[in-house]
Amino acid sequence: MEQRTYNQYCATARTLDLVGERWTLLLIRELLTGPKRFGDLQASLRGLGTGLLAARLKHLEREGLAHKITLPPPARTPAYALTEAGEELGPPILELARWGLKWAMGERRETETFHPGWAVLGLRACFDAEAAAGLRAVYEFRIDDEVFHARIADGTIEALHGPAQHPDATITISEAAFLDVTSHGLTFADAIETGAASASGDSAALRRLKGLFRLPPSRSRNADQPPS
């Protein structure tokens, strides 16, 4: 597959030459939360055909953004992981996510799929570092069958797929309730208070949960346009 280019000697254009094709940034989004097997990527990116997925992964390998690895025991299966260059796309992708939460989300369309695992990156995008000052705690989140956790350490966050070894607090919520909560700009703590989610664990960690993750107020992109 021939790689398209803007043919511009510009950092923005050169970057878009590498990651601007359809599905490429979403593949990197998936790999930002840890190595993934080919089948994992297929499951998370419904609508991306097998052939195109393979082509996009080859592109990322060729351009030095991802590479093949073997997962540690007990899996011992081939997977894909980001290189140092690929990992450094994390901050700009998070900024895109923050912009999207404010200016692009709105209500979910009937044709749109949702994967609970995408909330892992969402935790990073909504994280309030100031509210986490002085806090050291591990939160485990369970959305239906999906399990992930966030490790908070004095204003920093590490969010990863899979259960935590020793969570300080565990939050359980259904996918339907999670979508309902997030579409209304609420928090996990709000969901717990209304009964849409359940929580267990250290009471101090649960009290701090309320301010840790904040969705920005949704804005209309057309609000400032003069009436036609």
pLDDT digits (tens, 9 = 90+) for 64-78: 999 999 998 888 899
CA dist., res. 20 & res. 127, Å (int): 26
Q: Is residue 4 part of a domain?
A: no
Domain count of the fold of the chain:
2
Indicate which CATH number applies to the domain containing 142: 3.30.1050.10
Other beta carbons within 10 Å of 189: 19
Q: Is residue 93 part of a domain?
A: no
Residues 71 and 135 in one domain: no
Residues 77 and 126 in one domain: no
**Which residue numbers in the chain have pLDDT < 70?**
1-2, 223-228
State which amino acid sits at residue 85.
A
CA dist., res. 122 & res. 98, Å (int): 9
Give the model's pLDDT for residue 214: 86
Enclosing domain of residue 21: 11-88
Residues 62 and 144 in one domain: no
Residues 120 and 202 in one domain: yes
Indicate which CATH number applies to the domain containing 47: 1.10.10.10
Give the model's pLDDT for residue 224: 62
Q: Which residues contact 92 (CB under 8 A, 6 or more apart)?
A: none
Q: Is residue 184 part of a domain?
A: yes
Give the model's pLDDT for residue 92: 95
Q: Is residue 44 part of a domain?
A: yes
Give the model's pLDDT for residue 228: 46
CA dist., res. 50 & res. 200, Å (int): 41
Residues 84 and 120 in one domain: no
Give the model's pLDDT for residue 132: 95
CA dist., res. 199 & res. 172, Å (int): 6
Give the model's pLDDT for residue 187: 83
Q: Is residue 6 part of a domain?
A: no
CA dist., res. 217 & res. 195, Å (int): 23
Mean pLDDT across the chain: 91
